[in-house]
Chain A
Amino acid sequence: MRYGATPALARAVLLAAGFGMIGVLTGTPAAVVVAVPFLAYVAWAMITRPVSPTVVVRAAPTSVAIQEGDAVEIRVVAEHPDGASAAGTLIANWPAVPGVRFDPADGALVDSGDLAEGVAVTVEPRRWGRYLVGPAQVAVTDSARAWRAAGRATPASIIVRPVSQPLEGASGVARPIGVAGLHTSTAKGDGSALADIREFRLGDRLRRVNWRVTSRTRTLHVNETHTDRDTEVLLVTDSTHDVPGIRPEDATSLDATVRAVAGIAQHYIGFGDRVALHDLGRRVRSLRAGTGRRQVALINDALSRIDRAASPGLPAKPLPRIASGTLVFFCSPLLDPGALAELVRLRRLGGEVIAVDTLPESIGTVASLAKPERHSFLVEAWVVRRLERELSLRRLADLGIPVVPWRGTASLGGVLLAMAAARQAPRMAVGR
């Protein structure tokens, strides 16, 4: 950025020259007195004139990833290209970003002193997602405000990862499809969960002998256990619609979807399961099944890169196939007929499908009709839409697909209980 004279310096030069000329031409000493403030300002400007004609501004960090609820400090510093020490006033003005809180509140700050120390604002995104903060408008001036170099600093890209709180509860896995893991399978073999006590047979390991029963019965008995296996969990997200709540601060359906996926992924990866991710709306990149902390980080990273503003505009992307017995969590507001059809298709492919309903709780309720400040029939329309949706949910229940509304981290317990109930309940045969 290059320094230039400010309107204040131009004004001072013009007025000093003008009143000076009047004094000279008319021989009026009073005109010289009137010119004094402007002459003094020009002299001040000469004293505080920057030593270097240009200045370089930098903003840091330019890219950062934080957890939801955290804040990040973005600092703008100014330096002279020749390395000369620079003192002056730095004015930085960050443009407002929806969903981002600044400190100071309006994102503009004036600081004087060493320009290399710069000015900093604290940026706190309110929700998960990807944010581009800036570019900040930056001006470097001297103490007289006579010289100014103005420009823009580089914008900062902030990725806010959704918070995935640790969840309590069982796995709810009915038929593990892996060969090793923490879920108790129906097959008997090496494991930790006691299945039965039976008489010793050739080939049984000595460490499985149950000495208490053996001494009581005078016959050698061994403990029989269920094998421990892992399974594959598929998380399907439906980002084709982002349905907002009644109030602007309410979580949208996409918020609920992201939080549900993050929580469920962390829960099942904690069991050692392989978790995959697929998005029908093509806003989230698909992830192959994986396990471990790296997979959690990958899923959170993929979720946080969702562009809220982008409209998918593309047809839903169905899954080609799934292994029979795959545990499928289908997180969706369950509004789109295509998403509902995909849900049923996954069930017919043999998946243990759980529908996690992410439609905001506040929308479409009869209670919302009572609000007097409504200026449209949107609320009525949503009530009718929710009633229509109830029919679809009932059909899903008839097909043996449990539907659990996502209401925070405690919802998973309900999901798992629903799975247990579904496992024990008689099933309707589903033809292919």
Chain B
Amino acid sequence: MRDVAEFLAGFVDRVRHTSPEMGLLRIALLAVCLLAVVIVRSWTGADVAGVLIWLAGLLVVATLLLPDSAAPGALLAVLGVWWLGGAPGAEAWQHVTVAAFLGAIHVIAAHTGSAPSHASFTPDGSFTMLVGAGAYVVVVALLALLVVAVTSAGSALGSVSMAIGAGLALAAAVTVGVLHASRQ
């Protein structure tokens, strides 16, 4: 009981001392998360006995409170799997939009979790963050568009072979990334 009270007191204290920049970041994170949940829910039309929407809602709250924890990863995983469950009939632009939203959640959570909630940003700090995150979301959208275009062209030849090829390239890139990360 005391732990809960301490957690709540700490939470209220953090909210009271949240800086304007970090407050805006969290509002942006909340907005993007809610939009992503609404989009995925409405475009797929699928929800396992109403569980997914509640699960996603809980994970959104957890992401807001603890952006540097595993919560954002879990939220992104749930949203991705949820989208894949209803994706087969989706349009290409819908795939691109979902990818862009997932990228936005990821990068905003990364920035929100990197600094304490009461941290102020210098103009240089704000500019670098906005430009970097904005450029990342645009690049993600363009890459998703490219992948959708490539897979659409490949469907005439055989979607399975195209997916295997893209997946192998992806796995190779991820392996390189993991190796680089382990060297640090």
Give the size range of B's interface with the partner: 35 or more
Given contact pairs A29-B159, A33-B95, A42-B177, A109 touches B103 in the complex (Cβ within 8 A): no
Interchain CB contact under 8 A, B151 and A27: no
A143–B140 alpha-carbon span in the complex (Å): 16
Q: A30 interface residue, CB < 8 Å from B? A: yes
Interchain CB contact under 8 A, B121 and A110: yes
Interchain CB contact under 8 A, A20 and B73: no
Q: A421 interface residue, CB < 8 Å from B? A: no
CB distance from A259 to the nearest CB of B (A): 33
Which residues of chain B from 61 to 94 have a CB within 8 Å of any chain A CB? Answer: 68-70, 72-73, 76-77, 80, 83-84, 87-88, 90
Q: Among B3-11, B27-35, B51-59, B141-149, which stretch is in contact with chain A? A: B141-149
CB distance from B98 to the nearest CB of A (A): 7
Which residues of chain A from 28 to 51 have a CB within 8 Å of any chain B CB? Answer: 28-46, 49
In the complex, which residue of chain A has the Cβ closest to the Cβ of B110? A8
Interchain CB contact under 8 A, B114 and A17: no
Q: A393 interface residue, CB < 8 Å from B? A: no
Interchain CB contact under 8 A, B184 and A37: no
Interchain CB contact under 8 A, B114 and A29: no
Given contact pairs A12-B106, A13-B174, A119 touches B122 in the complex (Cβ within 8 A): yes
A113–B148 alpha-carbon span in the complex (Å): 36
Interchain CB contact under 8 A, A15 and B80: yes
In-complex Cβ contact of B103 among A14, A41, A108, A111 (8 A) = A41
Interchain CB contact under 8 A, B139 and A40: yes
In-complex Cβ contact of B132 among A2, A10, A91, A144 (8 A) = A144
Given contact pairs A7-B68, A106-B19, A112-B129, A42 touches B174 in the complex (Cβ within 8 A): yes
Interchain CB contact under 8 A, A30 and B166: no
Given contact pairs A46-B180, A91-B119, A6 touches B95 in the complex (Cβ within 8 A): no
In the complex, which residue of chain B has the Cβ closest to the Cβ of A20? B170
When distances are taken between beta carbons in the complex, the residues of chain A under 8 Å from B80 are 15, 19, 31, 34
When distances are taken between beta carbons in the complex, the residues of chain B under 8 Å from A42 are 173-174, 177
In the complex, which residue of chain B has the Cβ closest to the Cβ of A38? B106
Q: A93 interface residue, CB < 8 Å from B? A: yes
Q: A139 interface residue, CB < 8 Å from B? A: yes
When distances are taken between beta carbons in the complex, the residues of chain A under 8 Å from B180 are 46, 49
Q: B167 interface residue, CB < 8 Å from A? A: yes
CB < 8 Å A-B pair total: 225
Give the size range of A's interface with the partner: 35 or more
When distances are taken between beta carbons in the complex, the residues of chain A under 8 Å from B132 are 143-144
CB distance from B1 to the nearest CB of A (A): 25
CB distance from B125 to the nearest CB of A (A): 4
Is the contact region of chain B dominated by helix, strand, or loop, or is it mixed?
Answer: helix
Interchain CB contact under 8 A, A32 and B163: yes
When distances are taken between beta carbons in the complex, the residues of chain A under 8 Å from B90 are 30
- Residue picked from A24, A31, A33, most chain B C-beta under 10 Å: A33
Interchain CB contact under 8 A, A7 and B113: yes
Interchain CB contact under 8 A, A15 and B77: yes
CB distance from A1 to the nearest CB of B (A): 12
In-complex Cβ contact of A112 among B17, B83, B125, B176 (8 A) = B125
When distances are taken between beta carbons in the complex, the residues of chain B under 8 Å from A7 are 68-70, 73, 113
When distances are taken between beta carbons in the complex, the residues of chain A under 8 Å from B76 are 11, 15, 38
When distances are taken between beta carbons in the complex, the residues of chain B under 8 Å from A146 are 110
Interchain CB contact under 8 A, B84 and A28: yes
Which residues of chain A from 53 to 82 have a CB within 8 Å of any chain B CB? Answer: 53
A110–B116 alpha-carbon span in the complex (Å): 10
In the complex, which residue of chain B has the Cβ closest to the Cβ of A88? B128
A141–B171 alpha-carbon span in the complex (Å): 26
Q: A329 interface residue, CB < 8 Å from B? A: no
When distances are taken between beta carbons in the complex, the residues of chain B under 8 Å from A8 are 72, 106-107, 109-110, 113-114
Interchain CB contact under 8 A, A108 and B174: no
When distances are taken between beta carbons in the complex, the residues of chain B under 8 Å from A3 are 184
When distances are taken between beta carbons in the complex, the residues of chain B under 8 Å from A108 are 19, 115-116, 118-120
A105–B116 alpha-carbon span in the complex (Å): 13
Interchain CB contact under 8 A, B99 and A36: yes
Q: B102 interface residue, CB < 8 Å from A? A: yes
When distances are taken between beta carbons in the complex, the residues of chain A under 8 Å from B162 are 29
When distances are taken between beta carbons in the complex, the residues of chain A under 8 Å from B106 are 8, 11-12, 37-38, 41
Interchain CB contact under 8 A, A41 and B121: no
Q: Please report A residues at the B interface, Cβ cutoff 8 Å.
A: 2-24, 27-46, 49, 53, 89, 91, 93, 104-113, 119, 139, 141, 143-148
* Further contacts, 11 of them, CB under 8 A, given A16-B177, A110-B122: A7-B69, A7-B113, A8-B114, A24-B164, A33-B95, A33-B96, A33-B147, A37-B99, A53-B184, A145-B110, A145-B111
Selected A-B contacts with CB under 8 Å, 9 pairs: A10-B181, A29-B159, A30-B88, A34-B84, A37-B102, A46-B180, A111-B122, A112-B124, A139-B115
